Amino acid sequence: MAILTEPIGSIPRPASLLQAIAAFGAGQINQPALDDAFAAALRDTIEQFEKTGSPVITDGEQTKPSFATYPLSGLKNLAPDGVVIPFADGHVRQLPRLSAAPFHYGVHAAGYVEAARKLTRRPLKQAVISASALSLLYPADGIPGYPREEFAADLLNEAEADIRGALDAGAATVQIDFTEARLSLKLDPSGGLLRRFIALNNQVLERFSDDERRRIGVHVCPGGDHDSTHSADVDYAALLPDLFQMEAGRFYLQMASEADRKRVLGVVASLLKPEHIVFVGVVDPINPVVETAAVVRDRVLEAARLLPIAQLGTTDDCGFSPFADDTSTAREIAFSKIRARVEGTELAARELGV
């Protein structure tokens, strides 16, 4: 396919896996039984992903508790009362709080790549959480004997190891999930918090070579959880100039659900550097209506009128189930939307003659 296309990552977990997770939490099944349920869900997800024709696939994040908290699995130095993230429909997600030194990942993304690699020959994409998101774990009043600067040094080392490990394990591309970017402008309209987030993430990216950064991308969206967002009311134009200061080679941008795509794409075009590839969202995971291939084709053609075709790719606006318990989108609908993305991108490529 002449126009690149990649998924964002997460796929709704099958009912059998969600039931097994609940049963394990209630003490009704043991760890080996839960592991079997994870393995079955992973295998089925990869099989279903391959059937969509997607040239790049993911593991669907089937074994992650969430896109944001997977590195925290097994850690004992966390308290539950961390930063609260409110969504437009009134529900919230709450991060834990680091309660004691030191900060280290309990799980690295390389393990997900290794498990998926055994089940497919298709190029694999691996999503990782941003250093900026995990920086929110550090409490405002500090931790005695563990200053923020020491925490930041540990965080940067771990974030680098997470990306490098995924690349070394065979990931074709690595995507940094940076969904707090747009939210940061809601919390601090001056942009100061956003620029601090970007500076922190760039300290990670600067540890990679130019060739490696061409395989590393950043994903932004207004959040997507239980069919609700946390920052869709923030103007994209206020985010993009700072976002494109990220030292990444790929940018995965929510676009299908944007009210004025032409305007936003124009801003993107003005910021694009020769080394960038921009993947525009052409399907909306929150909308239950499955896009047709023709709808996707038209969205690709719309983007191609403003962006260089050689630097254009397509993607999904967001993951379909970034938190394990989000069942707002049916698994079948997610795969149908992915299939439409693939087919519609190919239709557009043919029409553009590439």
CA 149, CA 8: separation in Å to the nearest integer? Answer: 32
Quick one: residue 29, left, alpha or beta (phi over 0 = left, psi -120 to 50 = alpha)? beta
| pLDDT value at residue 161 | 98
Give the tokens for residue 110.
């390389």
- In 3D space, the residue among 167, 175, 59 whose CA is nearest the CA of residue 110 turns out to be 167
110 alpha carbon, distance to own chain's centre: 16
Is the pLDDT at 100 greater than 90? The verdict is: yes
Q: Which helix (H) or strand (E) holds 218?
A: strand 216-220
| pLDDT one-digit tens code per residue, 253-290 | 999 999 999 999 999 999 999 999 999 999 999 999 99
What average pLDDT does the chain have? 96
296 and 287 Cβ atoms separated by less than 8 Å: no
Q: What is the CATH number of domain 4-352?
A: 3.20.20.210
pLDDT at position 300, please? Answer: 98
CB 252, CB 6: distance < 8 Å: yes
Average pLDDT over residues 315-329: 94
User: What is the mean predicted confidence (pLDDT) over 309-336?
Assistant: 95
What average pLDDT score do residues 331-349 get? 98
104-131: pLDDT as tens digits: 999 999 999 999 999 999 999 999 999 9
Distance (Å, rounded) from C-alpha 66 to C-alpha 82?
16
Q: Are 182 and 242 in contact (CB under 8 A)?
A: no
Strand partners, 278: 251, 312
Mean pLDDT of 20-37: 96
- Closest by CA to 267, choosing from 297, 219, 307, is 307
Dump pLDDT digits (tens) for 220-251: 999 989 889 999 999 999 999 999 999 999 99
Give residue 1's pLDDT. Answer: 53
Strand 78-79 and strand 97-98: pairing? antiparallel
Nearest Cα neighbor of 129 from 64, 214, 80 is 64
Tell me how long the chain is. 354
Q: What is the arithmetic mean of pLDDT over 184-201?
A: 97
- 83, two tokens: 């930063």
Let me know how many helices (H) and strands (E) the chain has, helices first: 12, 11
CB hemisphere CA count around 32 (13 angstroms): 0
User: Three-state DSSP class for 98?
Assistant: strand
Which amino acid does the sequence have at 222?
A: P
Other beta carbons less than 10 A from residue 214's beta carbon: 16
Looking at the predicted structure, is the pLDDT value of residue 346 above 70? yes
**In this structure, what DSSP letter does residue 35 have?**
H
Domain boundaries, the chain: 4-352
Q: Model confidence at 157, in pLDDT bands (50, 70, 90)?
A: very high
What whole-number distance in Å separates Cα of residue 330 and Cα of residue 308? 35
> How high is the pLDDT of residue 53?
96
